[in-house]
């Protein structure tokens, strides 16, 4: 009878070696999903690989060209980084919505992404930011566009023995802004009925130069909504644009019916929420003259 092993390697390579050694080994970041799943006997791994002692997973690097966020950075840590919060306020507000203070002290951005809940709060905001997910494995390092990372509830684009080391976000150009809103029946400590992430960059004349719109909790995975992006491009967020955006969001929905919301309700809320999120992103972009 084998024991449940725990290892906390210091390097990416050592972590890959350990993941390759034991079938079904599990990565541990903040444990706020993983340890609950073990307790509830949903999973029964033979090895836990704690990635928090690997330097690359535990730092924030801000350069003129990109922002790199270690996968094992917690919500509390990310929220305290003012430079990051000024660049990507929507990503940070999404990460900070995860759980209570106690959960914030542990829950990581990489764990939220890799757990692959359709309702994970940070994922629509990460997709809207245009992030790339940096993945390391036995074959080396590769980057996956964030919208291609979640594959199904609980399943991601990670191949065997790979793990997420960091997330790379672009440095937003002048006149850019992003936002994330979620709708929950309570005011705190609940799972999103709908989550919406929007990022926009404006031209000098105030029209939309580029945009990304993502929805969570309305389909098996968070979605990048192409038609919603097309609705925004070139526009000034007038009523006609907002109506098109609303419709594009509703058309993209393929939600479940559950105690938190029926299909009809989630679909309707998705349209409303995406309008509100776009308005916030827009306002932030107008204030951001770089």
Partner 1 sequence: MLGRGHKNKMAKHSVTTTINGDETEFNCDTHNTLMDVLRSELHMTGTKNGCGTGDCGACTVIMNGRSVNSCLVLGVEVDGAEIETVEGMAQGGTLHPLQQKFLDHAALQCGICTPGIITQAKAFLEKNPDPTETELRFGLAGNLCRCTGYDKIIRAVLDAAAEMRANK
Ligand X SMILES: Cc1cc2nc3c(=O)[nH]c(=O)nc-3n(C[C@H](O)[C@H](O)[C@H](O)COP(=O)(O)OP(=O)(O)OC[C@H]3O[C@@H](n4cnc5c(N)ncnc54)[C@H](O)[C@@H]3O)c2cc1C
Which residues in this chain contact partner 1 in the complex, by CB under 8 A? 1-6, 8, 28, 30-32, 35-36, 38-41, 44, 46, 48, 50, 52, 74, 76, 99-103, 105-106, 188-189
Cα separation, 94 vs 270, in Å, equals 16
Is 71 among the residues that bind ligand X (CB under 6 A)? yes
Say which residue the tokens 């199904």 belong to: 152
Q: Please pick, from the candidates 8, 20, 22, 26, the single residue that binds ligand X as defined by CB under 6 A.
A: 26
Q: Which is nearer to ligand X, 158 or 193 (CB)?
A: 158
Cα separation, 274 vs 227, in Å, equals 13
Interacting span for ligand X (CB under 6 A) from 25-33, 140-148, 229-237, 275-283: 25-33
Cα separation, 43 vs 129, in Å, equals 32
Here the tokens at position 250 are 């509703």
Alpha-carbon Rg of the chain, whole angstroms?
Answer: 19
Q: What are residue 155's DSSP bridge partners?
A: 152
**Chosen from partner 1, ligand X, none, partner binding at 98 (C-beta under 5 to 8 Å by type):** ligand X
Cα separation, 271 vs 22, in Å, equals 45
What letter does residue 135 receive in the DSSP assignment?
A: E
Cα separation, 196 vs 182, in Å, equals 6
Write down the least CB distance from residue 29 to partner 1, Å: 11
Closest CA to 163 of 102, 124, 204, 110: 110
**Chosen from partner 1, ligand X, none, partner binding at 6 (C-beta under 5 to 8 Å by type):** partner 1
Q: Which residue's beta carbon is nearest to the bound ligand X?
A: 111
What letter does residue 226 receive in the DSSP assignment?
A: H
Q: Specify whether the CB–CB gap between 85 and 92 falls below 8 A.
A: yes
Is 90 among the residues that bind ligand X (CB under 6 A)? no
Is 30 among the residues that bind ligand X (CB under 6 A)? yes
Q: Which is nearer to partner 1, 63 or 187 (CB)?
A: 187
Is 193 among the residues that bind ligand X (CB under 6 A)? no
Cα separation, 226 vs 169, in Å, equals 19
Q: Which is nearer to ligand X, 121 or 246 (CB)?
A: 121
Q: Which is nearer to ligand X, 211 or 222 (CB)?
A: 222
Q: Specify whether the CB–CB gap between 70 and 166 falls below 8 A.
A: yes
**Chosen from ligand X, partner 1, none, partner binding at 232 (C-beta under 5 to 8 Å by type):** none
Is 168 among the residues that bind ligand X (CB under 6 A)? no
Interacting span for ligand X (CB under 6 A) from 4-12, 105-113, 171-179, 277-285: 105-113
For residue 178, count CB atoms less than 10 angstroms from its CB and return exposed for 0-12, middle for 13-18, buried for 19 or more: buried
Write down the least CB distance from residue 215 to partner 1, Å: 25
How many residues touch ligand X under the rule CB under 6 A: the total is 29
Write down the least CB distance from residue 49 to ligand X, Å: 8
Q: Specify whether the CB–CB gap between 224 and 127 falls below 8 A.
A: yes
Q: Please pick, from the candidates 98, 127, 211, 228, the single residue that binds ligand X as defined by CB under 6 A.
A: 98
Q: Which is nearer to ligand X, 107 or 168 (CB)?
A: 107
Residue positions counted in the chain: 290
| Binding stretches for ligand X (CB under 6 A) | 26-34, 36, 51, 71, 97-99, 103, 106-108, 110-112, 114-115, 120-121, 158, 163-164
């Amino acid at each position: 009878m084998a024991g449940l092993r725990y290892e906390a390697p210091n390097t990416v390579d050592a972590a890959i070696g350990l993941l390759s050694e034991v079938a079904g080994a599990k990565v541990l970041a903040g444990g706020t999903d993983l340890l609950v799943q073990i307790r509830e006997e949903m999973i029964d791994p033979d090895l836990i690989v704690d990635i928090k002692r690997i330097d690359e997973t535990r730092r924030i690097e801000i350069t003129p060209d990109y922002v790199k966020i270690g996968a094992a950075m917690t919500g509390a840590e990310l929220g305290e980084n003012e430079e990051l919060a000024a660049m990507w306020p929507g990503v940070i507000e999404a990460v900070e919505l995860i759980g209570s203070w106690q959960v914030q002290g542990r829950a990581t951005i990489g764990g939220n992404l890799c757990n692959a809940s359709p309702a994970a709060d940070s994922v629509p905001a990460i997709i809207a930011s245009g992030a790339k997910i940096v993945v390391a494995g036995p074959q080396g390092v590769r980057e996956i566009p964030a919208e291609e990372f979640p594959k199904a509830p609980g399943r991601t684009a990670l191949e065997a023995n790979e793990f997420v080391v960091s997330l790379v976000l672009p440095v937003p150009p002048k006149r850019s802004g992003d936002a994330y809103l979620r709708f929950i029946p309570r005011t705190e400590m609940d799972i999103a009925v709908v989550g919406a992430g929007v990022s926009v960059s404006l031209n000098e004349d105030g029209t939309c130069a580029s945009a990304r719109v993502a929805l969570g909790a309305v389909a098996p995975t968070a979605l990048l909504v192409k038609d919603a992006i097309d609705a925004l491009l070139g526009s000034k967020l007038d009523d006609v644009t907002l109506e098109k955006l609303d419709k594009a969001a509703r058309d993209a929905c393929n939600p479940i019916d559950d105690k938190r919301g029926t299909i009809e309700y989630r679909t309707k809320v998705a349209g409303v929420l995406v309008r509100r999120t776009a308005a916030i992103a827009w306002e932030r972009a107008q204030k951001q003259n770089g």
